[in-house]
Every structure is written in C-alpha cells, then in structure tokens.
Amino acid sequence: MRVSIAAIGRMKNGPERELVARYLDRAGASGKPLALTGFDVTEINESRAGSAAARKAEEAKALRAALPEGVTVMLDERGKAIDSESFATRIGRWRDDGRPAIGFVIGGADGIDPDFVRSADLVVSFSPMVWPHQLVRIMLAEQLYRTTTILSGHPYHRGD
C-alpha cells in the first residue's frame, strides 16, 4: 500500500524539512517488508482566493487531485484523537483489506473545506489545538514511522 501526504504550504529548507525527511526515510525502509511504500509528500501552494471559503474550496480541489486512489485521512483539530497503536492497527487493516493507497491531508491556514473533510475515511486530531503545518508534518511523519515499528514489532514503540 502506497502512503502519501498532500499538504498545503511549502516547507523551507531547514531542520523541520530534514526531520520530516528523516522520519519518512525511516518509515520507507521499515515499511517495505510490511508492504507499505512511498511515504512521499506533495506540497501545494496556498490559495490566493479572496475569501476563506473560496481558498478552502480551491485548496480542496488541488488536494483531491494530489491524492492517490484509496483511503483518505484528514488531519484536523476537530477530528478523532486516537493513540498510536490504534493508528497503526487501522493502517494495517486497510493494507490487509487490499486498499491500494492511503493519502493524508494537511490543510492550509484556513483549515480544510468541510465537504472535503466529510468525504474522508478518517479525520484525526493530534490535539484540539491548531498547529502550524510544519509541525503537523513532523508529527505525522513520526507517527508513520512509529506505525511501521508497531506493525513489525520493533521496540521503537514502547507504549504501555
């Protein structure tokens, strides 16, 4: 199953981008024996439309076009908070069910178009707080790496 991230906004070169790359490289290496591949990021420019609703609609269109066919997971502060084990279990189940890909969506400063959110297979919240897209990418990349370690029984994940 291919794993992809579609995100509004571009990260500048620096420690944040390097950290995302490090976790996604690790996820790719440890995911390969688990039939989890890709771990790529598509960056989409922020919309310049005049209203927040128009920006969200325009960004949703671009995000949809960037996502692979398969499962869609939105990251949104109003989503469901789940633990790392449950996150990994869901991804493993989708893989085992033969889903071809999973696409994670990180919205822009205005959030994600509500209709697009409703179309998702899962809406996940890392916190009820709003986080900058750079930090969300880092947290998602780390959780994807953690998912591969949980699914493979690697000791990186030492939850209770």
Confirm whether residue 129 is marked as ligand binding.
yes
The pair of structure tokens assigned to 99 is: 């889903």
The answer to the question of whether 127 is labelled as a binding residue is yes
CA distances from 74 to 64, 80, 156 (A): 11, 10, 25
Q: Give the chain's end-to-end CA distance (angstroms, integer).
A: 28
In order of 16, 55, 100, 144, 146, the CA distances from 139 in angstroms are: 11, 25, 24, 9, 10
SS3 state of residue 100: coil
Report the alpha-carbon distance of residue 138 to residue 20 in Å, rounded.
Answer: 5
Q: How far apart, in whole angstroms, are the C-alpha atoms of residue 34 and residue 148?
A: 7
Q: Is 75 annotated as a binding residue?
A: yes
Q: What share of the chain is helix, strand, coil (3-state, %, to 5)?
A: 45, 20, 30
Query: Is 107 known to sit in a ligand binding site?
Result: yes
Q: Tell me: is residue 130 an annotated ligand-binding position.
A: yes
Output the known binding site: 75, 107, 126-131
Output the known binding site for S-adenosyl-L-methionine: 75, 107, 126-131
